[in-house]
Amino acid sequence: MNAVEGRPAVAVVIPVRNRPHEIVECVRSLAALDYPRDLVEVIVVDDASTDDTAGAVRALALPGVRVLAGAEHSGQSACRNAGASDANADIVAFIDSDCTADPGWLAELTSDFADPTVVAVGGGVRAKDPETWIERYEAACSPLDKGPVPAEVVPGSGIDSLASCNLVVRRRAFLDAGGFDAGLAFGEDVDLVWRLRRLGGRVLYRPSGAVEHDYRSTFGAFFRRRVDYTIAQGMFLRRYPRNGGVFDLPAGLLIGAAIAIAGIASGHPALAALGAIAPASDAIVSGRGGGGLRGGILRVVTSYAAALYRVVSRAGKYWALPAAVAGAVLALVASPAWSWLVVGALATMGIPAIVEWVRKRPGLDPARFAAAVLADSVAVNAGTVWGCVVHRTLRPLSVRFAFHATSASMPPSRRPIAAPGTSGAPAGGAR
């Protein structure tokens, strides 16, 4: 297949096992793509299904669609690798069998390959007809969906990976990187993206190239998957120790808080009041960059609030459960005063539930949304601790801080990117 009209030829690879109805719906969505049909080949890799999954695809008799039938069950990653190896196109797109593609999916995600430095692009992942309360929570808060803003994928930033259910890569770069690690049960997409980045390629996120995904509909399946994915973080951070999250904090926030706490603790209110000098100075300096004093104050308030919320959210997701257990033990064996640690840990899990419900307005009542957020946090906490044990590392519990002189010098949480098809370095600063 040869590129025409400025669009590249694409091989779409779909791993599948025992999903005859889902795979038919997925393939039909690909047949309806707004993309030249002669530039698309669809490779369904059947992972030794025990039903008529392969036959259901063949019965569609759609041009450009073929089935690779595996003799033994080998897993999704091995199937994706087999499909990419067998592809005839220079661009390979991955989608899962329980997903359907928007008509503009490929058109949106292939434009950036005009830039030779781009090796992979991923798109948005939306919930497909959410019905149960846990599906509606996933529709609002799934880690597979990276949000509505295009950005460059940078480890340690707001978008540090992409989902394999919606990922388009250069075939040559994919093969050079070794493809997906078939030995990983979870997080093989994170591992691939980080390897592609380490080899020097740019990886982009374009939410407009979206697919719809069938999320797990039961609480048990949702909880187990959150735990499993988080356990894998220990392995990732052992492989890529520099890819942990970074907290960007304005220095004025730290200095002001330290002075205020010291004043309160020492019983000197006047000293505590001096803590306001650092944020006030930050506002004045930041306002000189535009907006005057009012703009500086607004910048300080928003940046301080965002920084504090990121710390609270991180604490609730990764440290709350160990802290609560430690506080409860210390309260029993040492002093009841340690119960503050339990209360504080639970607060870091509860505050994000309130903030996220107000911010996202999900199709779910506050009580069940809060219950889902708390369950999500417990799952991530448990997976983090167990991942540290299994992979013999404390890196998932560690954190790096980067301090910035003023709020105006704070970097964006996401590295912005230019319009599709625009070559060159991304706009905006980066960590």
Domains in the chain: boundaries: 10-217, 246-409
User: What is the predicted pLDDT for the residue at 421?
Assistant: 52
Output the pLDDT for position 3. Answer: 56
| Residue 240 reports pLDDT greater than 80 | yes
Whether the CA torsion 231, 232, 233, 236 is positive or negative: it is: positive
Is 6 a residue whose pLDDT tops 90? no
Q: What is the pLDDT of residue 425?
A: 36
pLDDT, one tens digit per residue, over 41-58 is 999 999 999 999 999 999
Matching residue, tokens 């306002």: 287
CA dist 217 and 311 (Å) reads 30
User: Quick one: which of 191, 112, 408, 165 has its CA closest to 283?
Assistant: 408
The per-residue pLDDT for range 147-189, each reduced to its tens digit, is 999 999 998 888 999 999 999 999 999 999 999 999 998 899 9
Q: What architecture is domain 10-217?
A: Alpha-Beta Complex (3.90)
AA identity, residue 194: W
Least Cα distance to 166 among 141, 189, 184 occurs for: 189
CA angle 31, 37, 38 (to 5 degrees): 145
